[in-house]
Amino acid sequence: PYLVQQNRRVGGEPIQSVAWPSHPILAGGQHVVVVGGGDTASDCVGTAFRQGAVRVTQLDIRPQPPEKEDKLSVWPYWATKMRTSSSQAEGAEREFQVATLEFIGEDGQLTGVKCCEVDEKR
């Protein structure tokens, strides 16, 4: 719902719909945790910074990729190497090999995220 609301907001459309909550989801002044390491997660990171988030932490279950790819082992696939999007470069803290176990809340507000380290050999 977060990016859907933002896209509707930017497009001048109402954020309310049957499928999504009617209350605004905004990151301004918040400590934001983004779960995931793909392109959509990167979009969430950038949107959170543009909305004025105090801090953004991105959790990725995968191991941190190497700085340089092994050119002999990647063709014809996309090379696995460390990439930083422009959104992440705005200051996101990135955590690798982390699984999200539980969202902790109090009075309807998220207060924490319980995580564990993932063993890449499993």
Residuewise pLDDT in 10s, the chain (122 residues):
899 889 989 999 888 776 766 788 899 999 999 999 999 999 999 999 999 999 999 999 999 988 887 777 666 777 778 888 989 988 999 999 999 999 999 998 899 999 999 987 75
**Domains of the chain (ranges plus CATH)?**
28-117 (3.50.50.60)
Q: Residue 100, CB half-sphere, CA atoms under 13 Å: how many?
A: 15
Instruction: Give residue 77's pLDDT.
Output: 74
Question: Which among 96, 103, 101 has a CA at the least distance from the CA of 60?
Answer: 96
CA distance 117 to 63: 10
Whether the full predicted model's pTM is greater than 0.95, yes or no, is: no
Quick one: tokens of 6? Answer: 């933002």
